């Protein structure tokens, strides 16, 4: 009987173990199935499918529900982020396309080179001017396609004239801009076609030269005729007539000087200043000029005073230097206003002699002083007086050709001094 109960107990224990084992296996199968669903979902997300979700489980286990909801929210967030990224990428591509279109439509050519001048990127203009496609240009030296003055640093060039071998009949200018990209040096080279500007400038200069040359003949003839009238060769003239003729002669003289200055400017640009130097005694040279300019100053009730402090001899072109001094005296007369005196002074500094022309008139505004030697700049325009601005430009060119300097100092309504320095 005892043995019966033992056997019965063992059978009951086995039945219980079988039941528990079967229940545990079922639970593990459910866990494995869920983990499989999660793994498949994560793999789908990994490969870019952000529409995959885990279906809600009909389970009383809250852990499953929390994991399911967390994964689904993560997928939704990733999906939203991907849409935002796609929108940003689309906008960037649109902006990049717009920028590239604008750059490619520029009349200037743009290329990017490294510090060894190897071409990295070009625009269609460069391809056209260089005669090769972009892919054929990349990696080649830009110096294989252009010629530039050996003294010019390509990476610091600013509006430097260059010659493009594939377009020998055109004129180009180049400017460089330095870039820093990923700690590497890059340079943007901007090339501009200035052929039309050069042609227009040449036509303008030729037109001015031809026009002024043709104008000079009748103006000189008019001057001679006025002299004949004033000398009484066509009969006596009364005071009113003489006054009118003197005024006409003064205007004629200014017009002759104006035409001559324009012609000289053209000649200097074409051939430079040609000097014929000779030994000049400074005092005698300046005395002759003052004697010539004194009557002109007298017409404006101005006296020219000569303050002598040296009498050195210098080697200079007497004609060209005389033109500079006369121009400075003429300007002093024009700008003296009510002042009655213009002073001419000579002096010496180490290695140089100086000639100063001083007036005590309206002066030059401080902001205009750096501009007065520029070509075509003229402060006389605002005072309604004849002036091209070329006189001081020509004066500077002539003095520079003598290896000298011309400077100005001025205080408005007090004093203006132009100082010529010439090497001894």
Q: What is the pLDDT of residue 230?
A: 82
Report residue 355 CA to chain centroid gap. Answer: 37
Name the pTM for this structure: 0.47
Residue with tokens 């999660």: 38
**Tens digit of pLDDT for each residue in 121-156?**
888 888 888 888 888 888 999 889 988 888 888 888
Q: What is the pLDDT of residue 72?
A: 72
CA 355 to CA 325: how far, in whole Å?
8
Mean pLDDT of the chain: 78
CA 142 to CA 121: how far, in whole Å?
11
Q: Are 408 and 279 in contact (CB under 8 A)?
A: no
Q: Provide the CATH number for the domain formed by 106-193 in this structure.
A: 3.30.450.20
Q: What is the pLDDT of residue 382?
A: 43
Q: Are 140 and 165 in contact (CB under 8 A)?
A: no
Q: Which residues pair with 357 in a beta bridge?
A: 344, 418
What would the two tokens of residue 346 be? 């000579």
**Tens digit of pLDDT for each residue in 77-93?**
777 787 788 888 887 78
Worst-scoring range by mean pLDDT, 143-147, 208-212, 228-232?
A: 208-212
Band (pLDDT 50/70/90 cuts) for residue 378 is low
Half-sphere exposure of 118 (CA within 13 A, CB side): 9
> Residue 203: is its pLDDT beyond 90?
no
Single out the residue of 350, 373, 358, 345 nearest to residue 414, CA to CA: 358
Q: Is the CATH number 3.30.565.10 carried by domain 278-423?
A: yes
The most confident of 63-72, 136-145, 270-279, by mean pLDDT: 136-145
Q: What is the pLDDT of residue 24?
A: 53
Single out the residue of 345, 363, 362 nearest to residue 354, CA to CA: 345
Neighbours of 410 (CB within 10 A): 21
Q: Average pLDDT, stretch 306-321?
A: 84
Number of H helices, E strands in the chain: 9, 13
List the chain domain ranges: 15-103, 106-193, 198-271, 278-423
Single out the residue of 178, 192, 190 nearest to residue 122, CA to CA: 190
Q: Are 159 and 194 in contact (CB under 8 A)?
A: no
Q: Are 226 and 245 in contact (CB under 8 A)?
A: yes
Q: Is residue 348 helix, strand or coil?
A: strand
Give alpha helix (H) positions in 151-300: 195-230, 239-271, 282-298
* CB burial of residue 276 (10 Å; 0-12, 13-18, 19+): exposed
- Polymer length in residues for the chain: 424
Q: Average pLDDT, stretch 25-38?
A: 60
Q: What is the pLDDT of residue 2?
A: 47
Q: Are 355 and 314 in contact (CB under 8 A)?
A: no
Q: Average pLDDT, stretch 22-51?
A: 63
CA 123 to CA 128: how far, in whole Å?
9
User: For residue 43, what is the enclosing H or E element?
Assistant: helix 2-46
Q: What is the pLDDT of residue 421?
A: 92
Worst-scoring range by mean pLDDT, 147-161, 286-300, 366-380?
A: 366-380
The most confident of 199-213, 272-286, 347-361, by mean pLDDT: 347-361
Q: Average pLDDT, stretch 31-55?
A: 66
| DSSP 8-state secondary structure symbol assigned to residue 368 | G
């Amino acid at each position: 009987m005892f043995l019966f109960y033992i056997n019965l107990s063992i059978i009951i224990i086995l039945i219980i173990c079988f039941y528990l084992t079967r229940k545990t296996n079922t639970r593990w199968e459910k866990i494995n199935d869920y983990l499989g669903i999660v793994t498949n979902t994560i793999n789908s997300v990994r490969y870019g499918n952000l529409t995959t979700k885990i279906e809600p489980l009909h389970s009383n286990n809250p852990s499953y529900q929390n994991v399911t909801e967390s994964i689904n929210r993560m997928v939704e967030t990733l999906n939203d982020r991907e849409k935002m990224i796609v929108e940003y990428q689309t906008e960037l591509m649109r902006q990049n396309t717009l920028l590239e279109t604008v750059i490619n439509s520029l009349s200037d050519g743009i290329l990017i080179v490294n510090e060894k001048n190897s071409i990295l990127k070009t625009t269609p203009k460069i391809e056209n001017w260089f005669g090769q496609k972009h892919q054929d240009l990349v990696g080649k030296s830009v110096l294989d396609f252009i010629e530039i003055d050996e003294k010019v640093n390509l990476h610091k060039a600013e509006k430097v004239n260059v010659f493009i071998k594939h377009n020998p009949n055109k004129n180009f200018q180049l400017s460089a801009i330095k870039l820093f990209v990923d700690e590497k040096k890059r340079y943007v080279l901007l090339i501009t076609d200035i052929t039309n500007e050069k042609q227009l400038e040449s036509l303008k200069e030729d037109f001015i030269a031809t026009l002024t040359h043709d104008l000079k003949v009748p103006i000189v003839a008019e001057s001679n005729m006025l002299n004949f009238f004033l000398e009484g060769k066509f009969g006596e003239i009364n005071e009113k007539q003489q006054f009118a003729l003197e005024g006409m002669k003064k205007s004629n003289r200014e017009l002759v000087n104006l035409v001559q200055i324009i012609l000289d400017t053209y000649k200097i640009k074409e051939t430079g200043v040609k000097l014929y130097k000779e030994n000049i005694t400074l005092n005698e040279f300046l005395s002759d000029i003052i004697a010539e300019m004194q009557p002109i100053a007298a017409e404006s009730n101005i006296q020219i005073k000569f303050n002598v402090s040296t009498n050195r001899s210098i080697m200079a072109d007497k004609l060209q230097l005389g033109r500079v001094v006369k121009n400075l005296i003429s300007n002093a007369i024009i700008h003296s206003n009510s002042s009655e005196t213009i002073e001419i002074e000579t002096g010496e500094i180490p290695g140089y002699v100086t000639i100063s022309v001083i007036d005590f008139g309206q002066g030059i505004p401080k902001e205009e002083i750096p501009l007065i030697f520029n070509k075509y700049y003229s402060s006389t325009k605002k005072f309604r007086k004849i002036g091209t601005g070329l006189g001081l430009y020509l004066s500077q060119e002539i003095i520079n050709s003598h290896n000298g300097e011309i400077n100005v100092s001025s205080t408005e309504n007090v004093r203006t001094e132009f100082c010529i320095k010439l090497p001894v």
